[in-house]
Copies of this chain bind each other. A is one copy, B any other.
Amino acid sequence: MKKIGELSKVTGCSVQTIRHYEKEHLIASAERSEGNFRLYDESAVERLLFIKHCRSLDLSLPEIRQLLALNRSPGSQCDDVNRMMDRHIEQVETRIQELTKLNEQLRMLRRSCTNRRTVEQCGILRNLSATSVSIG
C-alpha cells in the first residue's frame, strides 16, 4: 500500500490534485493508516492514470466522472460516451477556429507598427483605439 506521496510520484499527479480528486469523488475515499494517512493500492494507480489521460485530452472533471460511471455499468450502450466525445471535439474545433481568426487579427495589428517609432505614432495603439474592430 502506497502513501499519497508515492502515488503522486508514480502517477505524476500532485498530492493536492489527488486529494482534490477524492473530494470531487473521481476516486474513492482512500483507506487510512493508524496515523490517518491515506493508503492506496494498484487500482488507485490505474484510476488516476485514466483520469490523467482524460485530462490530457482536456476533458472536464464532470465529463470524466461521467465516463467513470459508464465504465461501472459495462453492459449499457456506449452512445453516451460517443455523444460526449462528439460534443467535446466540436468544442475544441470551435476554439481552434476562434484562435486562428484571432491570430490573423493580431498579426495584422502587429504589422501596423515597426520598432523604433514613438508611442504617439504607434499603429498598434492607434488601431486599438479605433472604434471599429476591423483593422485595415
- Mark A6-37 against chain B: 1 for CB-CB distance below 8 A, else 0: 00000000000000000000000000000000
* Pairs A-B, 5 closest by C-beta atoms: A74-B120, A78-B122, A78-B119, A89-B106, A85-B110
Interface size on A, residues (CB 8 A): 53
- A118–B120 Cα distance when bound, in Å, is 65
Nearest-neighbour CB distance to chain B for A119, whole angstroms, equals: 5
Are A106 and B85 in touch, CB under 8 angstroms? yes
Q: A75-B119, A78-B113 are in contact. List 12 more A-B contacts (CB 8 A).
A: A57-B106, A67-B125, A71-B119, A71-B129, A78-B115, A78-B122, A78-B125, A79-B115, A89-B110, A92-B102, A95-B99, A96-B100
Q: Which of B70, B103, B122, B133 contacts A125 (CB 8 A)?
A: B70
Are A82 and B102 in touch, CB under 8 angstroms? no
Chain B residue at smallest Cβ distance from A74: B120
Q: For the complex, is A53 an interface residue (Cβ under 8 Å from B)?
A: yes
Q: Which residues of A contact B (CB under 8 A)?
A: 46, 49-50, 53-54, 56-58, 67, 70-71, 73-79, 81-82, 85-86, 88-89, 92-93, 95-96, 99-100, 102-103, 105-107, 109-110, 113, 115-122, 124-125, 128-131, 133
Are A116 and B75 in touch, CB under 8 angstroms? no
